[in-house]
Amino acid sequence: MSSKFVRAIFPGSFDPITNGHLDVIQRGVKLFDELIVAVGRSPLKDQLFAPAERVEMIAELVRDIQDVSVESFEGLTVEYAATKKADVILRGLRSLTDVRYEFELAMTNRSVAGIETVFVMTTEQYGFISSTLIRQIASLGGNISNLVPANVYKRLQQRLRTSRDQQ
């Protein structure tokens, strides 16, 4: 009996990556043979870090996790998934608000591209974290050191200090 090789992508803007994202990656890699963290560009969001910077930060975090890679992409997630021959899109769920949006997105992706979505519930301690919230709290001087990995916290502090100095 042969087993099927399953490649998954975990798409997101990851601007910046949070401990919640990292939790999903660490648990997702246990479910699939290969996991690609796919750093996308969202034209609807103001970006704090360039895609290359986000890839670099995430790559630092996952370098010791076997079968995880990090890439950036542009365009539709389902088109990127097709180019990578991915079988599954991995998504993290934090709250009921996420469920409705993610359900509609998963149904659309399956209808349009025939790709399945697998959801992983975020660990309770990270259920309220979003990259947008992290950017807002950090920009107002709040302490987010327990919500993001140390390398991300350091870069976030540097970026915000540079932004303040330029104003």
Q: Give the pLDDT of the chain (167 residues) as one tens digit per residue.
A: 558 899 999 999 999 999 999 999 999 999 999 999 999 987 766 789 999 999 999 999 999 999 999 999 999 999 999 999 999 999 999 887 788 889 999 999 999 999 999 999 988 888 888 998 999 999 898 999 999 999 999 999 999 887 766 66
> Which residues are marked as active site?
21, 45, 94, 131
Angle, helix 150-166 to helix 51-62, in steps of 10 degrees: 160
Alpha-carbon distance of 26 to 31, in angstroms, equals: 10
Distance of CA 121 to the CA centre of its chain: 14
Token pair for 79: 């088109």
Token pair for 50: 């360039």
pTM for this one? 0.91
Coil, strand, or helix at residue 66? coil
138-146 CB contacts, 8 Å cutoff, 24+ apart: 146/19
Q: Where are the domains of the chain?
A: 7-166
Contacts of 79 (CB under 8 A, 6+ apart): 113
Please report, for residues 71, 83, 156, the alpha-carbon distance to residue 115 in angstroms, rounded to integers and kept in the order given. Answer: 19, 12, 34
Q: Report the b/e string of 54-91 with b at 16+ CB within 10 A.
A: bbebbebbbeeeeebebbbbeeebbebbeebebbbbbb
CATH fold, domain 7-166, is Rossmann fold (3.40.50)
Query: CB of 68 within 8 A of CB of 35?
Result: yes
Amino acid 151 reads N
Q: How many CB atoms lie within 10 A of CB 14?
A: 24
